[in-house]
Structure 1
Amino acid sequence: MKVEPWARSNWSHTDLPRLKKGMVGAQFWSAYVPCGAQYLDAVQLTLEQIDLIKRLAELNPDHLSLVTSVKGVQETHRAGRIASLIGVEGGHSLGNSLAVLRTFYSLGARYMTITHTCDTAWADCSVGDQGASTSSEEHNPGLSEFGKAVVREMNRLGMMVDLSHASVSTMKDALSVSKAPVIFSHSSAFSLCNSTRNVPDDVLKLVALNGGIVMVNFYTYFITCNSTATIADVVDHINHIREVAGLEHVGIGAGYDGINHTPQGLEDVSKYPHLFATLMEDPRWSEEEVKRLAGLNLLRVFREVEQVREKWRLAAVMPVEELIPVNYLEGHTDCMYLGS
């Protein structure tokens, strides 16, 4: 990116030349809006982000293709283009509406992060694990009954449930409810860096039982808990998750363009080959295993999520019509019609 002000920004890690240099085959683009938009215009802003992602792919058809399925990822990769997928980062984007969830799916979103850095009325975020939760007192920590309905509806749709940013209680509740594998789109190992944004070992074991995946984040404060880190530190997190959860349950979720401190040697998306080359120097890793880490594990999860969707479709499982109790929204309804 040569256009100011992003050329020298610490937050700029992604552009087409660097994606090509990094040999990126597929990328999730995050439809993210700040938590301050909750109970205000979060839904509209998220729709605008989805529109932007779609236009980005349409403006660069020689390089990017918007895809919504495992088949689409594979076909686009074979065609030599970068498969572009949409993720919605933060349950506050739903406006507490399952109809909005279905709309996001129809527009191409294939995962949703249950929470971001704020609680919703139906799910607690990782901030709550620091004793600063602002969630409703109307439900216990974790997922409310409406939150569990969100997870079930995501299963029915074929949308991946993302537990990065969730509290441990929310993680465990979602893992107990979901009939499809879950993902942690950008989290690391709590045992190596005790950030509440990372995944504890007991949850890693539950992820393995669920069939899900933890995709390692490159933000230095999630890797070493300070402002500096190296490729070796990232490898330590990958190896730890592999040892606790298993090879099939670890992936890469760098968080580029959403972080401002990156490890030495992994400064942007062009550096992925450096990470894989480092792993290939380790006798514990074979070429086939590195391929799984690089993307095959996520495709396996995505495929199994699609299979759950098809089973529920054949079983004629109907859309969930549940509404969130209005008392969960007390104090937040001034800008909403019927408290929806």
Structure 2
Amino acid sequence: MADLQDELDSPAEAGENDDGHVAPLPPGGGPVPGGAEPAEPELRDGPERARALLAGHPVADGYSGLPNALRELPWYDLELGDTGLETDLPRLRAGRVGAQFWSLQVPDDRPAGDRSVSSALEQLDLVKHVVARYSGGLRVARDASETTDARNCGRIATLIGPAGARAIGDSLGALRSLHALGLSCLTLSGTSWAGERGLTAFGEEVVREMNRLGVLADLSGASAATARRVLAVSKAPALWTRSGAAALREHPANLDDGLLAAVGETKGLCLVPLAADRTGPTLGDVADHLEHVRRIAGPECVGLSGMYDTGSPHPGELADASRYPRLVAELLGRGWSEADVTALTWGNVQRVLRGADFTARAARERRGASTATIARLDG
């Protein structure tokens, strides 16, 4: 854990001068030189308490667009920092991020030619190269155990996915191949077998095979019919990687209270996005969504999704991946218990990853790889 602490302790905390020395308050807590008034102890307590909690329970960020963003840049350096991105290693460390899901963007290019599978493979290859290049800060992880190992070694765990369901090309063999290469999460929407009317017979077989492999089902953007059928078929917890509360803000990806209640009943996970279009333009709006999801689904069913480097606008106070301590301080100021905060940041994602792994181990004892095809089941 010493390595982890070294990486998490940012060298430029509030109150430090440019040369790294902390400017002490004068005796009695009076005005500091230059006329600036010192912060009240209770105001300092929030950020300090937030950083202390995140040192032991860092953020598991449910959605990053970094792979696609890196493909668009002619040059980048994640260690030195890059102003063309909202994420780099210094900001991830400052934000106390311990794990991230790196999304694989799948093009919607029918009928000009379906490049979904090759695009997913290209981005997956890019992720592997990026993590290898920055192996001092990043490590690919597939499950809860590997995520924890990465954190204990002072690395940020990189989970590959979610990828759009079109990435498997309507093939269970392609799903297994992508999983073997590291895919950990698949978004079930935008296909003939996971659409507005729900899952087809082949779609249900995809979910069963995902359960057997340990691939998480992401339902952000899925129709209500698909979401409810996945919850009925899947033996592993499902998650929504970028969904807020529809009761607070209308957006196609946000969940109504009925579906949030179903998330709680099935012990799924709703990862609330730090995106202005989905949760509102202020830090307080994001906190409102987190509180609403916690109240309806339960404190064990809510998490965080940065949505950095996706092109989505963010609240000004949450402009990049370094700002998570500000959000945690806001929640603590609203009376959240430390147990609920640490579940939000780290524990709930770990629970879902453990659930997927447990389900996969049990499923592999009961059945082998499925030989089903879309032509046979849906034809």
> Same fold per TM (> 0.5)?
yes
Question: Equivalents in 2 of 1:157, 1:264: separation in Å?
Answer: 40
Deviations 1:170-228 (A, max 9, x none): 1111111111110101111111112111111111111112111000012211113xxxx
2:331 is paired with a residue whose SS is: helix
Alpha-carbon distance between aligned partners in 2 of 1:272 and 1:88, rounded to the nearest angstrom: 21
Counterpart of 2:194 in 1: which secondary structure? coil
Structure-1 residue corresponding to 2:88: 15
Structure-1 separation of matches of 2:213 and 2:263: 21
Unaligned runs of 5+ in 2: 1-68, 77-81
Residue 8 of structure 1: how far off its partner (Å): 5.7
Aligned counterpart in structure 2 of residue 294 of structure 1, from 345, 348, 353: 345
CA distance in structure 2 between the aligned counterparts of 1:78 and 1:160, rounded to whole angstroms: 23
Separation in 1 of the partners of 2:153 and 2:339?
Answer: 22
How far apart are 1:14 and its partner, in Å?
A: 0.9
User: Is the partner of 2:232 in helix, strand or coil?
Assistant: helix
Task: Summarize the alignment of residues 67-82 of structure 1 with structure 2, pairs less than 5 Å apart.
Answer: 67-82=141-156
Partner of 2:369: 319
1:121 counterpart residue number:
192
CA contact (8 A) 1:121 1:328 kept: no
Matched, 1:215 2:289: no
* Secondary structure at the counterpart of residue 172 of structure 1: helix
Matched, 1:27 2:61: no
What SS does the corresponding residue of 2:104 show, helix, strand or coil? strand
Number of equivalent positions: 302
CA gap of 1:198–1:5, structure 2 versus 1, over 3 A, is farther
Is 1:164 paired with 2:220? yes
1-structure distance, mates of 2:74, 2:364: 48
Structure 1, unpaired ranges of 5+: 129-140, 330-340
- Alignment correspondent of 2:31: none
Aligned-partner Cα distance in 2 for 1:218–1:97: 33
> 2:315 is matched with which residue: 255, 263, 266?
263
CA distance in 1 between partners of 2:321 and 2:74 (Å): 19
1:5: how far off?
8.8
Alignment-derived partner of residue 334 in structure 1:
none
In the aligned structure 1, how far is the partner of 2:356 from the partner of 2:378? 30
The yes-or-no answer on 1:111 pairing with 2:167 is: no
The AA in structure 2 aligned to 1:319 is A
TM-score using structure 2 length? 0.76
Q: Secondary structure at the match of 1:214?
A: strand
Partners of 2:187 and 2:74 in 1: CA distance: 31
What displacement does 1:75 show?
Answer: 1.2
> Does the CA contact (< 8 Å) of 1:189 and 1:237 recur in 2?
yes
Q: 1:4 to 1:48 in 2, by over 3 A?
A: closer
Whether the 8 Å contact between 2:198 and 2:229 is mirrored in structure 1 is: yes
| Cα distance in 1 for residues equivalent to 2:108 and 2:259 | 26
Matched to 1:21, the amino acid is A
1:242 partnered with 2:294:
yes
Distance apart, 1:309 and its partner CA: 0.7
Identity level (%)? 37
Structure 2 CA distance for aligned equivalents of residues 89 and 269 of structure 1: 21
- Rounded Cα–Cα distance in structure 1 between residues aligned with 2:165 and 2:377: 18
Contact 2:202 2:378 in 1 (8 A): no
State how far apart, in whole Å, the 2-side matches of 1:312 and 1:253 are: 29
**1:167 and 1:196 in contact (8 A); partners too:** no
Deviation at 1:288, TM superposition (A): 2.0
Task: Give 1:259 deviation, angstroms.
Answer: 3.3
Whether 1:148 and 2:204 are equivalent positions in the alignment is yes
Measured on the aligned residues, the alpha-carbon RMSD in Å equals: 2.0
1:190 is matched by which residue type in structure 2?
A
- The corresponding residue for 1:231 is 283
Q: Which residue does the alignment assign to 1:94? A: 168
Residue 334 of structure 2 is aligned to residue 282 of structure 1: yes
Q: Which residue of 1 aligns with 2:30?
A: none
Runs of 4 or more consecutive aligned structure 1 residues displaced over 6 Å after TM superposition: 3-6, 326-329
